[in-house]
Structures are given as structure tokens and as C-alpha cells.
């Protein structure tokens, strides 16, 4: 395995890229952030599927060996369609990986889940958690304001703290011991969430993906430093700043038009 494609609606999937680069530094990564169509979390199922299909088609132009769907919303709604439509390409979604790690971490089998509206409404996490362990209790909460706060660069601002407190209080009242951050944007809010829920194990999609890759794929590391290409469908104000702060490296942001994305460019 040499090259992988990763997509998300925005900057959030880079939290997964960060973990992958830490643990598999030799991999070449092509990242697509579909910033022009963000947020996915409030869209209908058919739209999320359409967007996920076009993102996948774009990444396949780069001869990637694997596609990481670094968007919980796409993973919850579109993964099955992607696997059927592109049956020669292996995909890694966020749901199974996140559920597996959460079940490893929970002591009292009380798991909280936060995510976009679409992810929570899909019931995908709850189904997967209960399929793996029928004794677990799952407490869910859609937290739709988190994505715009992160994309605006407000992750560490007090406004995020106030919003997070409001969202997390009902879950903490249920005495959860583990919280799945069921959206790849949310690890950027980790310090804020940790301050509100210091005793809860936080499950990020990035960590969960790395564990999943280690357990399920035979990726042979070598000394080469892998490349990172970052494409976005719109150059939004804070993307580069948030991305570079997160990755701790300079990135070269490339804009990709829908014409080129869909192969219709003259």
C-alpha cells in the first residue's frame, strides 16, 4: 500500500490524515475537502450519496490503493453505495472503526455519541455498537453547531465552550464513561470537550482509523516520507490556517473545480 485517498466535507478529515501520517508516515495521501458543499450533516441522504460518489471518482484519478471516508456523515449514509459501485476499491469508513475502539475503552458500557444530524439520524453507530455488544447503552446527541465553529477557526474560543457545555450536559447526566466524537471535525474541539468531560474517554475518528488500519490491513512501513496533496472545492477563509495549525506543516492548497472534478473540463 503506497497511496491513499481521503475525503471529507471540509477540514475535519485532516484530523484523520494527521493520525495516519503519524503512524504510517511513508504513505502518499491525496486529500479532498469538499468545502463548497459543506456542511454534509444537514443534507438529505441522496445528496450525501451524490457528493460522496463524486469525491470518490475524483480521488480514483490518482490511482489510490485505498479510500478513507474521513467523514462520519458519508460513512454513515454512503459507504455501502460506494463499496457496491466501486467494488474493486477498498474503503475504510469511520463507523466500524469508531465503534470498535469505543467498545474497547468503555468500562461501564455507557457510551455517548455526538455527530451531525445526518449521522445521528442514520442510527449507524448505534446499530454497529449493539451488533458488536448487545449490552451496551448508547446515548446520542446531534451537535450541528460544532462544524461551523471549527471551520470558522473558533475551536478554542469561549463560544465553543458554551455550546459544548449545552450539548454535552444531557450525556454527562447519563454517566457516560466514553464519548464517540462521531464527526471528524470534533477532535479540533478536544481541549474544550476535555475541559467539560475530564473523566470521559474520548474516541476520535483519527485514532480509531489508525487502530482499524493496523488490525485489518497489512501496511508495510518504510523510511520514505510520504507526500500530502490537499484539494478543496472552494478556498474558504480559514481552511489553510486551521489545516496548517492542525497538521503542524505547510500545505499547498489546490482548488478543484466541479468541471475538473467530474472530468468535464475542456
Number of C-beta neighbours around residue 54 at 10 A: 18
> Is 71 a known active-site residue?
yes
Q: Which residue has the cell 473540463?
A: 265
Give the one residue of 17, 30, 64, 71 binding ligand DGL; rule: CB under 6 A. Answer: 71
For ligand DGL, give the closer residue by CB, 24 or 125. Answer: 125
Q: Does 185 bind ligand DGL (CB under 6 A)?
A: yes
For ligand DGL, give the closer residue by CB, 10 or 136. Answer: 10
In the complex, least distance from residue 145 CB atom to ligand DGL, rounded to whole angstroms? 11
Of the residues 38, 71, 142, 246, only one is catalytic, namely 71
The only residue of 54, 55, 56, 73 in contact with ligand DGL, by rule CB under 6 A: 73
User: Can residue 184 be called a binding residue for ligand DGL (CB under 6 A)?
Assistant: yes
Among 5, 6, 9, 136, binds ligand DGL (CB under 6 A): 9
Q: If binding is defined by CB under 6 A, does position 72 make contact with ligand DGL?
A: yes
Selected catalytic residue, list 78, 183, 228, 242: 183
Rounded to the nearest 5 degrees, what angle is found at the Cα of 19, between the Cα atoms of 115 and 155?
50
Contact pattern from residue 91 through residue 130 relative to ligand DGL, giving x for each residue in contact according to CB under 6 A and a dash for the rest: -------------------------x--x-----------
Pick the piece of the chain touching ligand DGL (CB under 6 A) from 3-11, 173-181, 236-244, 253-261: 3-11
Task: Tell whether residue 236 is a contact of ligand DGL (CB under 6 A).
Answer: no
List the one residue out of 240, 218, 233, 243 whose CA is nearest residue 90. Answer: 218
Alpha-carbon span 29 to 227, nearest angstrom: 6
- In whole angstroms, the minimum distance from the beta carbon of 30 to ligand DGL comes to 18
Burial 213-229 (b: 16+ CB within 10 A, else e): beeeeebeeeeeebebb
Q: Using the Cα atoms of residue 256, residue 33, residue 163 and residue 153 in order, give the sign of their dihedral.
A: negative
Q: How many alpha carbons lie under 13 Å from residue 18 in its C-beta half-sphere?
A: 22
If one asks whether residue 14 binds ligand DGL (CB under 6 A), the answer comes out as no
Catalytic site includes residue 183: yes
Q: Which residues of 117-132 are buried (b: 16+ CB within 10 A; e: fewer)?
A: ebbbebebbbebbeee
Instruction: Decide whether 71 or 179 has the Cβ nearer to ligand DGL.
Output: 71
CA distance 188 to 239: 13
Stretch that binds ligand DGL, among 2-10, 161-169, 192-200, 254-262 (CB under 6 A): 2-10
Spatial distance between the Cα atoms of 18 and 5, rounded to a whole number of angstroms: 14
How many Å apart are CA 64 and CA 44, to the nearest integer?
Answer: 28
Contacting positions for ligand DGL (CB under 6 A)? 8-10, 12, 38-41, 71-73, 116, 119, 147, 183-185
Which active-site residues does the annotation give?
A: 71, 183
Amino acid at each position: 500500500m503506497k497511496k491513499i485517498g481521503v475525503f471529507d466535507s471540509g477540514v475535519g478529515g485532516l484530523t484523520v490524515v494527521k493520525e495516519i501520517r503519524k503512524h504510517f508516515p511513508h504513505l502518499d495521501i491525496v486529500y479532498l475537502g469538499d468545502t463548497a458543499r459543506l456542511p454534509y450533516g444537514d443534507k438529505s441522504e441522496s445528496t450525501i450519496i451524490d457528493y460522496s460518489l463524486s469525491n470518490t471518482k475524483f480521488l480514483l484519478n490518482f490511482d489510490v490503493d485505498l479510500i478513507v471516508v474521513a467523514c462520519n456523515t458519508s460513512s454513515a449514509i454512503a459507504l455501502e453505495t460506494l463499496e457496491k459501485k466501486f467494488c474493486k476499491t477498498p474503503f475504510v469508513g469511520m463507523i466500524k472503526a469508531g465503534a470498535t475502539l469505543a467498545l474497547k475503552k468503555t468500562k461501564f458500557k455507557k457510551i455517548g455519541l455526538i455527530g451531525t444530524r445526518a449521522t445521528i439520524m442514520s442510527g449507524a453507530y448505534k446499530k454497529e455498537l449493539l451488533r458488536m455488544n448487545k449490552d451496551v447503552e448508547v446515548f446520542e446527541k446531534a451537535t450541528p453547531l460544532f462544524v461551523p465553529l471549527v471551520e470558522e477557526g473558533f475551536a478554542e474560543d469561549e463560544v465553543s465552550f458554551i455550546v459544548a457545555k449545552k450539548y454535552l450536559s444531557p450525556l454527562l447526566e447519563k454517566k457516560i464513561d466514553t464519548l464517540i466524537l462521531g464527526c471528524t471535525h470534533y477532535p479540533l474541539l478536544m481541549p474544550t470537550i476535555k475541559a467539560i468531560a475530564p473523566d470521559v474517554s474520548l474516541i476520535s475518528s483519527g485514532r480509531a482509523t489508525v487502530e482499524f488500519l493496523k488490525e485489518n490491513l497489512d501496511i508495510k512501513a518504510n523510511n520514505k516520507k510520504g507526500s500530502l496533496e490537499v484539494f478543496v472545492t472552494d478556498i474558504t477563509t480559514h481552511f489553510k490556517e486551521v489545516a496548517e495549525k492542525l497538521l503542524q506543516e505547510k500545505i499547498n492548497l489546490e482548488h478543484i473545480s466541479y468541471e475538473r472534478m467530474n472530468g468535464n473540463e475542456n
